[in-house]
């Protein structure tokens, strides 16, 4: 299903803006791919090493097989520390496990500290992009929602809208007792827990919260600090077109200026083990930089909503969702491809996305062939009966408008 015209235009502008920045950057794709594959080839050993180092740093480590178990850990840890509210950062993993929904179901106020996620929550939408979650939103919709819920004057000035968000978030940040952090990487050699951003919200959360709950996909372990530096640079160049992010925040369980923190780390599998042992394992190199989203002509036409309820969108989502999500609708996502192969050269970790998409389509074709034949048969019948054809169009229009 095509996105609305504004969303398509917004994603096209994002593509043009990011393409200029990324064109000026030159991530070392070969070395970054080696750094990621080195860990994936012996993931169990690196995970054990990372866990041992994290525990030595004073971090409590928990293992979650799926998103429900990860959510239970988050809720139970918050309850154990007496927290009824928490702030969270921007991280695709948190959207993947639907931590906001789990917190709300357990009467915990989970508020995003990233303005983009706050706008998405304010409008009642879903993130559409791993780096720019609110890229699809219209300023008119954000302004109307802010006026209705925050009682701020209607304005279409994006700077004023951003200031309104920051004014609302600052008191919550100063009062923060608990933080839920989705990590970008963790270093096996040192146990370092690392998150990246350009506005400093991660640093604010980590420095002010008494209890920090970190979540990490088991595929995001890095072997050593040299590989970490390489991957931070690759992420920044592909996500923002910059050599380095503005903020690199490290979470530890040690005293920082007399501020003793409780730090918990939740290692999330949620289907990654199924990918690891199969033909689509190279997709686990992904670092959620969004480069394949920006370049993909299909994503710019359908937007994030075109990938259903899955948190991962774009070409990488079309590869992994049929294996990880295993929902019936996810089986059709590999066909959201034009075959242009544009996503291959922009991937900073050398994932052969066109090849993986082709393999997924071959794998899913027998499952969809019968449905396609049935759909084409219905279409042929309707074309031979104009009255039924027009009635079907009117019915489809009414269904879509609901």
Sheet containing strand 185-187, strands side by side: 221-222, 185-187, 193-197, 247-251
Residue 37 CA, distance from chain mean position: 21
pLDDT over 90 at 289, yes or no: yes
pLDDT band at 199; cut points 50, 70, 90: confident
What is the rounded CA–CA span in Å between residue 315 and residue 343? 8
**pLDDT tens sequence across 351-390:** 999 999 999 998 887 765 566 666 667 767 777 777 777 7
Region 27-34: what's the mean pLDDT?
Answer: 85
Write down the pLDDT at residue 2. 59
What is the rounded CA–CA span in Å between residue 169 and residue 163? 10
pLDDT over 70 at 27, yes or no: no
- pTM, to two decimals: 0.88
What is the rounded CA–CA span in Å between residue 129 and residue 304? 7
Region 35-50: what's the mean pLDDT?
Answer: 97
Write down the pLDDT at residue 319. 95
Can you name the residues that pair with 111 across neighbouring β-strands? 87
What is the rounded CA–CA span in Å between residue 18 and residue 402? 35
Give the chain as a 3 state SS string: CCCCHHHHHHHHHHHHHHHHHHHHCCCCHHHHHHHHHHHHHCHHHHHHHHHHHHHHCCCEEEEECCHHHHHHHHHHHHHHCCCCEEEECCCHHHHHCCHHHHHHHCCCEEEECCHHHHHHHHHCCCCCCCCCCCCCCCHHHHHHHHHHHHCCCCCCCHHHHHHHHHHHHHHHHHCCCEEEEECCEEECCCCCEEEEECCCHHHHHHHHCCEEEEEEEHHHEECCHHHHHHHHHHHHHHHHCCCCCCEEEEECCCCECCECCEEEEEEECCCHHHHHCCCCHHHHHCCCCCHHHHHCHHHHHHCHHHHCCCCCCHHHHHHHHHHHCCCCHHHHHHHCCCCCCCHHHHCCCCCCHHHHHHHHHHHHHHHHHHHHHHHHHHHHHHHCCHHHHHHHHHHHHHHHHC
Across the chain, what does the average pLDDT equal? 88
What is the rounded CA–CA span in Å between residue 111 and residue 108? 9
C-beta separation of 116 from 129 below 8 A: no
Query: Which of the residue ranges 44-58, 90-104, 140-154, 203-217 would you say has the lowest mean pLDDT?
Result: 140-154
Q: Which two tokens stand for residue 150?
A: 């925050």
Write down the pLDDT at residue 394. 77
**pLDDT tens sequence across 217-229:** 999 999 999 999 9
Percent of the chain scored above 90 by pLDDT? 56
Q: Which two tokens stand for residue 321?
A: 């969702």
User: CATH fold of 25-274, please?
Assistant: Rossmann fold (3.40.50)
Region 65-94: what's the mean pLDDT?
Answer: 96
Write down the pLDDT at residue 349. 95
pLDDT over 80 at 328, yes or no: no
pLDDT over 60 at 26, yes or no: no
pLDDT over 90 at 53, yes or no: yes
Write down the pLDDT at residue 380. 72
Please tell me which residue, 161 or 269, carries the higher pLDDT value.
269
Write down the pLDDT at residue 306. 84
Write down the pLDDT at residue 224. 97
Write down the pLDDT at residue 329. 72
What is the rounded CA–CA span in Å between residue 109 and residue 67? 19
What is the rounded CA–CA span in Å between residue 255 and residue 183? 20
Q: Which two tokens stand for residue 11?
A: 């994603």
Please tell me which residue, 349 or 260, carries the higher pLDDT value.
349
Cβ-in-10-Å burial (0-12, 13-18, 19+) of 147 comes to middle
Percent of the chain scored above 70 by pLDDT? 90
**pLDDT tens sequence across 86-101:** 999 999 999 999 999 9
What is the rounded CA–CA span in Å between residue 211 and residue 214? 10
Give the CA distances from residue 338 to residues 63, 311, 334, 342, 351, in Å, rounded to whole numbers and listed in that order.
38, 22, 10, 10, 18
Residues 6+ apart with CB under 8 A from 25: 237, 238, 241, 242, 243
pLDDT over 90 at 276, yes or no: yes
pLDDT band at 174; cut points 50, 70, 90: confident
pLDDT over 90 at 29, yes or no: no
Between helix 5-24 and helix 225-240 the angle, nearest 10°, is 130
**pLDDT tens sequence across 234-261:** 999 999 888 899 999 998 765 554 567 8
Write down the pLDDT at residue 33. 95
What is the rounded CA–CA span in Å between residue 183 and residue 95? 13
Write down the pLDDT at residue 17. 64
Write down the pLDDT at residue 96. 94
Phi and psi (nearest 5°) for 113?
Answer: -95, -20
Write down the pLDDT at residue 159. 85
């Amino acid at each position: 299903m095509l996105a609305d015209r504004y969303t398509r235009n917004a994603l096209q502008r994002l593509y043009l803006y990011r393409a200029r920045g990324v064109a000026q950057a030159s991530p070392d794709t070969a070395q970054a791919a080696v750094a990621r594959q080195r860990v994936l080839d012996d993931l169990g050993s690196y995970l054990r090493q990372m866990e041992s180092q994290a525990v030595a740093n004073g971090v409590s480590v928990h293992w979650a097989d799926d998103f429900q178990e990860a959510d239970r850990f988050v809720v139970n840890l918050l309850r154990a520390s007496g927290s009824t509210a928490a702030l969270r950062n921007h991280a695709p993993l948190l959207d993947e496990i639907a931590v906001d929904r789990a917190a709300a179901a357990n009467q915990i106020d989970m508020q995003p500290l990233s303005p983009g996620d706050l706008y998405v929550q304010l409008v009642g939408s879903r993130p559409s992009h791993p780096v720019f979650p609110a890229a699809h939103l219209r300023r008119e919709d954000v302004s109307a929602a802010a006026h209705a819920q925050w009682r701020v004057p209607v304005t279409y000035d994006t700077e004023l809208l951003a200031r309104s968000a920051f004014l609302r978030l600052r008191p919550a940040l100063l009062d923060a007792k608990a933080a839920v952090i989705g990590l970008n990487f963790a270093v096996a050699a040192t146990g370092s827990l690392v998150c990246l951003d350009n506005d400093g919200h991660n640093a604010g959360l980590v420095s002010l919260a008494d209890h920090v709950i970190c979540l990490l996909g088991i595929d995001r372990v890095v072997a050593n600090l040299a590989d970490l530096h390489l991957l931070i640079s690759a992420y920044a160049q592909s996500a923002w077109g910059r050599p380095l992010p503005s903020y690199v925040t490290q979470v530890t369980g040690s005293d920082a200026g007399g501020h003793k923190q409780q730090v918990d780390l939740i290692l999330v599998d949620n289907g990654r083990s199924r990918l690891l042992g199969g033909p689509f394992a190279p997709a686990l190199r992904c670092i959620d930089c969004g480069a394949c989203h920006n370049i993909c002509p299909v994503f710019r036409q359908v937007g994030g909503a075109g990938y259903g309820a899955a948190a991962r969108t774009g070409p990488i989502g079309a590869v992994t969702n049929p294996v990880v999500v295993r929902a019936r609708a996810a089986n059709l996502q590999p066909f959201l491809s034009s075959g242009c192969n544009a996503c291959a050269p922009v991937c900073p970790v050398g994932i052969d996305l066109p090849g993986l998409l082709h393999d997924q389509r071959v794998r899913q074709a027998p499952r969809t062939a019968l449905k396609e034949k049935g759909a084409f048969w219905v279409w042929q019948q309707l074309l031979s009966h104009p009255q039924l054809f027009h009635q079907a169009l009117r019915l489809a229009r009414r269904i879509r408008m609901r």
